[in-house]
């Protein structure tokens, strides 16, 4: 399994990046850190700067066909920046339209909303995003992890860092690890 992790140049919640990254690696998956700019991304521990991570490729250098699945880590600033970048939004839309699984945790559901790919789907997110999900035609539920297998692709969503164990197990299962 080859998995893309899409993050903005700064603002990703570190644990929501590193725990799924670890889980995919432990399942013998290949991982690539994709961003909208080359160099490094700056992760955060809530509002405090955390570690920096090297970007493998930019969105402009990638094709959906290169990967088996996509992970969208949360944080507040990360998905907010991604949803303002048309290349990133098109990348996410491409995964869904190609029938490939997409996993989003916390505020990352904003990117799915911006890509207009939650309509008729059941998902969860950080509670403050629920109105956005509902306004975009999705069914928001307050559950630890939600796997929605509705066509065209599987969406795996979770609410917050406390849900990471269940989220990681679901992504590995759905991505074929």
Provide CB contacts within 8 A for 97, sequence distance 6+.
Answer: 117, 152, 153
According to the model, what pLDDT value does residue 177 have? 59
The residue whose two tokens read 């644990």 is 15
Provide CB contacts within 8 A for 158, sequence distance 6+.
Answer: 104, 105, 106, 124, 144, 145, 146, 164, 166, 167, 170
Q: pLDDT by residue (tens digit) across 98-149?
A: 999 999 999 999 999 999 999 999 999 999 999 999 999 999 999 999 999 9
According to the model, what pLDDT value does residue 176 have? 86
The answer to whether 106 is a known catalytic residue is yes
According to the model, what pLDDT value does residue 172 have? 97
What domains does the chain contain, in order, with CATH numbers?
2-174 (3.40.50.880)
**Of 62, 106, 148, 168, which one is the catalytic site residue?**
106
Rounded distance, CA 127 to CA 142, Å?
8
Q: pLDDT by residue (tens digit) across 63-111?
A: 999 999 999 999 999 999 999 999 999 999 999 999 999 999 999 999 9
- Evaluate if residue 41 carries a pLDDT over 80: yes
Band (pLDDT 50/70/90 cuts) for residue 9 is: very high
**Of 62, 107, 148, 168, which one is the catalytic site residue?**
107
The answer to whether 168 is a known catalytic residue is no
């Amino acid at each position: 399994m080859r998995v893309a992790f899409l993050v903005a140049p700064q603002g990703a919640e570190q644990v929501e990046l590193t725990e799924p990254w670890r889980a995919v690696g432990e399942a013998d998956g290949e991982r690539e850190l994709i961003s909208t700019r080359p160099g490094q991304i700056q992760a955060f521990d809530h509002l405090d700067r955390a570690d920096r991570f090297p970007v493998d490729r930019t969105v402009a250098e990638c094709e959906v066909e290169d990967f088996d699945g996509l992970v969208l880590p949360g944080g507040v600033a990360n998905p907010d920046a991604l949803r303002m970048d048309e290349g990133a939004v098109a990348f996410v839309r491409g995964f869904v339209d190609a029938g490939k699984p997409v996993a989003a945790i916390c505020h990352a559901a904003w990117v799915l909303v911006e890509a207009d790919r939650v309509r008729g789907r059941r998902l969860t997110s950080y509670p403050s995003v629920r109105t956005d999900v509902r306004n975009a035609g999705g069914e928001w539920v307050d559950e630890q992890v939600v796997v929605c297998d509705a066509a065209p692709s599987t969406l795996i969503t979770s609410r917050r860092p406390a849900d990471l164990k269940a989220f990681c197990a679901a992504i590995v299962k759905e991505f074929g690890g």
